[in-house]
Amino acid sequence: MKSYVFTRRQFMKMTMGATAALGISQLRWPKMLMADVTKNPGVVWLEGQDCAGCTESVLSCLTPDLRDIILDVVTIRYHETIMAGTGEVAEYALVKAIQEGGYVLVLEGSIPAADPRYLMVSGESVESTFIAAARNAAAIIAVGACATYGGIPKPTISNGQGAEYFLNKYGISKPLINLPGCPVNPIWFYDTVVAYLTGGVPALDANRRPLAHFGQLIHDNCPRRPHYDKAEFLSDWNNPVQKDWCLFLKGCKGSETYSDCPSLKWNEGVNWCIGNGAPCAGCTEPKFYENFSPLFIANTIPR
């Protein structure tokens, strides 16, 4: 009997063909293999005031695999966390990419608005680097709560602001897509990349978020919604009777937050914040974090 050895990429392409033949809905990754990769502008990924959580979230996705994205779909021109080059070699790659232009610019983390000297990289402020990169970009994607609306650094002394704030400050008009979240869901990012590669900027809401993922309130799709309708609100974390009750009294922001977390979930669809018993922090909204504090309300401990 003759045996055959297939690479992972060959296997995925065979799977794509089989699903098409059987009429089965295609998965996101086969869809990416079908993308018009001739429209590959390259990616320049900058990091501002961040914890690199959005990078970690994107890297941890199993389907699609980041290695396949880099090999088959896009060209990462600069990303200080994952690139092999360091120091002057890395900075040269960034300068060259900006000079050539036409890339998709990704911003992770906020940029200090109080004083650009709060964040300097290689002798240059991140603000000046972002503006230089934005002027020559084909489109801009802001990933995470900090890069979109300021997030956690916004109420600090640095007054961290998102991409749109600085684009408006310098009068730069480029297509901007906001993918908030703390961190961003990797599927939000990959689906947006697919949408841009195959058809340009997807339909966005008033906050420049893709309607495909941010078109509905969490509250409207929350599995605890029936308890809300019956005014059953969790007040004691330690009461087993209340275990699945609505978390509104514990600071849940689901009634003000738009995203598909209840259906898409996290970690390959394993779980999400409310499913794990934690109230929604509203991390996809412009009000996060400053105007959504406190994020949750603990039990009152008797004295």
Catalytic residues: 51, 54, 146, 182, 219, 222, 246, 252, 261, 273, 280, 283
Q: How far apart are CA 296 and CA 13, in angstroms?
A: 45
Terminal C-alpha separation, the chain: 77
What tokens were used for 262?
A: 């209840």
How many CA atoms lie less than 13 Å away from 28 in the CB half-sphere?
Answer: 19
Q: How far apart are CA 186 and CA 61, in angstroms?
A: 6
Q: How far apart are CA 227 and CA 246, in angstroms?
A: 6
Helix (H, G, I), strand (E, B) or coil at 52: coil
CB 118 within 8 A of CB 158: yes
Q: How far apart are CA 236 and CA 243, in angstroms?
A: 9
CB 249 within 8 A of CB 233: yes
What tokens were used for 207?
A: 């906050």
Q: Please state whether the peptide bond connecting residue 155 to the residue before it is cis, i.e. omega within 30 degrees of 0.
A: no
- Angle (nearest 5°) at CA 157 between 251 and 153: 45
